[in-house]
Structure 1
Amino acid sequence: MAFTGSTLTGRKIMEGSSGSNLKKLQLELGGKSAQIVCADADLENAAVQAAGGIFNNHGQSCNAGSRIFVHESIHDKFLELFVKATQENFKVGDPFDEDTIQGPQINKSQFEKILNYIEIGKQEGAKLVYGGKRLGNRGYYIEPTVFTNCHNNMRIMREEIFGPVVAIGTFKTVEEAIELANDSDYGLAGGVYTTNLDTAIRVSNEIKAGTIWVNCFDVFDQSTPFGGYKQSGFGKELGKYALQEYTQVKVVKIQLNSKI
C-alpha cells in the first residue's frame, strides 16, 4: 500500500496495518524542508529558485522549502531579491486567468489554518516583511508570506503549514546551517545554494533528507527516487527503487542430490 499525505494520517495507516494484516507500506508524508543559502551563492538564482521552492503549488507541497537559512553576511541582499522574485513570479488570482500562478488554497479549513499560522508567527516575534493577509474578500486566496528573524524554536519553523508561508533565519557557519536544517522532525527534502562544489557535496551528504537539490529546487525526474527520512515517511516513489516497494523476495532451495 502506497500513501502520500500527512504524517498524522500516515501514523493511522501504520496502526491499521499493525492491527490487521501487516500490509507492506510505502509512506510519503509531511515535510519542513530547509534551503541553505551560502555566502558565495549566486544570489539572483538562489532568490528565484528558493521562492519557487516554497510558493510553487500555493505552498501546498510536502517537500516545500518552507525554512530558509541565509548566511548573515548576505541576508539583507538575499531578502531584497527574494521578495522581488516573489512579487514578479507569483501573481495570486483567478486560476482561469493565464497570468495567475497562485490560485486559492484547497479549502476553507486549510485557508483558516494558514492564516492562523501567520498570526502565530507574529506572536512568536518573527518579522513579517511581505504578504501575510487574505487577498480580496471572496475565495480562499492568501498572499505569499515572508517572515524573517525566525528561530528554530518557533512553531512556524517547526510545524508544516502547507501554505504560502516561508520562515527565514540566519547562520554564521556551514556547520551551524547543517545543524539547523537537521533540527526537525521531518526529512523529506532540502536545498543548498553555493558556488563551491565541496560545500555542495558536504551539505548534501550531511542533511538528513531523502532529496537534496543544489542551486535549484523542486526539480523532478521519473528515473530518480523520491522519499523521506524521519517522520517524512519511508520507501521510495519513482525510479527503479520504487519497484522494490511492490515486490517481495522469495527464496527457493532445492537439493539436487538426495543422497547424504
Structure 2
Amino acid sequence: MLPLKKRGYIALLDIGRSIDEEKFNKILGLIESGKQQGASLQCGGESQWDTGYFVKPTVFSDATDDMRIAKEEIFGPVQSILKFKDIDEVIERANNTSYGLAAGVMTRDINKALKISQNLDIGSVWREYALHEYTEIKTVAINFPEKYL
C-alpha cells in the first residue's frame, strides 16, 4: 500500500490534492496570472510538496473583477479578496459574473443580508450558515437502488 502522502492525503491536513496534473497545472497557472495581473499575493501560491498535486492554500488581496482569479472558477485552494464601497456595488458586481449558482453573505446586519439575498441573481444564498457542515471530517454518499427509496 502506498504511504498516505503518495495516495493524495496528508494526515492532519484539511486539504487534499488536485485531481490530476492537468488541474494542478491549471491552478498554478491561474495563481501566476493573479501575480502578473497585479493582485497582491498574501500567502501560498506554489506547490506544497515534492509528490502529489498539492497546492498551498493561497490568498490574494487587491484583486479586481477583470482578473482571471476573480472571473474563473479555480477549483483549488485559492481565495481572492475584492474591495467594495457599498452594498449596491456588491450586488451589481455579483450579478455581472458568468456564474450564479450560490453565494454566502457574511454580515451581522440581517437587513443587509436580506437586501443582498433578494437582489442577487443566484439560486442559493446562505448567511453565516452551515460552517459546521462544511467542516465535517466525513461525508458519506450512497447511491441506493430504487427499490429502497
Q: Structure 2-normalised TM-score? A: 0.79
Distance, in Å, in 1 between the alignment partners of 2:93 and 2:111 is: 19
Aligned to 1:118: 31
- For residue 58 of structure 2, the aligned residue among 145, 158, 183 is 145
Tell me the equivalent position of 2:107.
194
Alignment of 1:183-222 (within 5 A): 183-216=96-129
Between the aligned partners of 1:218 and 1:181, the Cα distance in structure 2 is 22
- Give the distance between the partners of 1:144 and 1:129, measured in 2 at CA: 10
- 1:99-132 alpha-carbon deviations (Å, 9 max, x no partner): 1211211111000000000000001000000100
Within the candidate set 74, 98, 117, 1:161 is matched to 74
Q: Give 1 or 2: higher strand fraction.
A: 1
Count, aligned residues: 127
How far apart are the structure 1 equivalents of 2:46 and 2:116? 35
When Rg is computed on C-alpha atoms for both structures, the one with the higher figure is 1
Per-residue CA deviations over 1:119-156 (Å, capped at 9, x if unaligned) read: 00001000000100101211101001100101111111
Q: Deviations over 1:59-109 (max 9, x none)?
A: xxxxxxxxxxxxxxxxxxxxxxxxxxxxxxxxxx66252x12112111110
Bigger mean CA offset, 160-169 vs 109-118: 160-169
Match of 1:95 in 2: 9
CA RMSD, aligned part only?
A: 1.7
User: 1:101 and 1:203 mapped to 2: Cα distance?
Assistant: 31
1:95, 1:101 within 8 Å by CA — same for their partners in 2?
A: no
Residue segments in structure 2 that go unaligned for 5+ positions in a row: 134-149
State the one-letter code of the partner of 2:109.
N
- Runs of 4+ that moved beyond 2 A: 216-220
The aligned counterpart of 1:178 is: 91
**Greater share of helix residues, 1 or 2?**
1
| Larger RCO: 1 or 2 (CA < 8 Å, sep 6+) | 1
- Corresponding residue for residue 20 of structure 2: 107
- Structure 1's unaligned 5+ residue stretches are 1-92, 221-260
Distance in 1 separating the partners of 2:33 and 2:78: 12
Do the aligned residues in 2 keep the contact of 1:192 with 1:212 (CA within 8 Å)?
yes
What amino acid is the match of 2:115? R
Identity of aligned residues (%): 40
Asked whether the equivalents of residues 152 and 183 of structure 1 are also in contact (C-alpha less than 8 Å), the reply is no
Q: 8 Å contact 1:191–1:217 — kept in the other structure?
A: no
